[in-house]
A and B are shown apart, each in its own frame.
Chain A
Amino acid sequence: AQTVTQSQPEMSVQEAETVTLSCTYDTSENNYYLFWYKQPPSRQMILVIRQEAYKQQNATENRFSVNFQKAAKSFSLKISDSQLGDTAMYFCAFMKRGFNKFYFGSGTKLNVKP
């Protein structure tokens, strides 16, 4: 079974600063995908970034980047130049390649302070 662990229930960051959200996962699979989803107060789940396990290069999307350590089964999200609109719950998720099933972590609530 796959498990995803987010050990930081809540974090705060000042606007314009950088913050890193942690995620670890446990799997015996070799082919899989990892995701970070954002759930703002509107409750809409929004894809932030994704990573294929077979790619060594860390994914980046504008201010968002990941640090993917496959051997350590770690997948952290770095948000640079934090903005007030980044305030949300962030969920780390795992998906085995070829299967339509997300395994979500418990989430990290991020508060960006002005």
Chain B
Amino acid sequence: GAVVSQHPSRVICKSGTSVKIECRSLDFQATTMFWYRQFPKKSLMLMATSNEGSKATYEQGVEKDKFLINHASLTLSTLTVTSAHPEDSSFYICSATHQGGVYGYTFGSGTRLTVV
């Protein structure tokens, strides 16, 4: 089956530094990848949608300059949290489509980011 690997699973960084999270589709080509943020005991909120080779489309209210998304290949998308602050601490989940249709969504196992 389709597998999406997300790395790291946990990361702690100091306030003011940047951290990169990787999302890889291991056995399929992901034309579109999605980044979600999940607050404790809350639902998933879509942050942005990225298509391979083009700029990401951000949801309203998401800071483009803080959350840099790159989708350079059909198997890799990265989310970089720049100048991280404690309020950026959260659980980040990526998802990828492999069929181009509504049934082809696979989620990564998420990254717990803690900014201290």
Contacts and interface: CB of A to CB of B under 8 A. Distances in A.
Interface of A: 33, 37, 42-47, 50, 91, 95, 97, 100-102, 104-107
Given A44-B110, A45-B107, A47-B105, A102 B93 contact: no
**How many residues of B sit at the interface, in one of the four size bands?**
20 to 34
A91 B107 contact: no
8 contacts: A43-B91, A43-B109, A50-B102, A50-B103, A100-B32, A100-B34, A100-B49, A107-B43
A104 B43 contact: yes
A44 B109 CA distance: 4
A101 B95 CA distance: 11
A4 B45 CA distance: 12
A97 B102 contact: yes
Interface of B: 32, 34, 41-46, 49, 91, 93, 95, 97, 102-103, 105, 107-110
A90 B102 CA distance: 19
Nearest to A99: B102
Contact of B44 (A47, A50, A97, A104): A104
A45 to B, nearest CB: 4
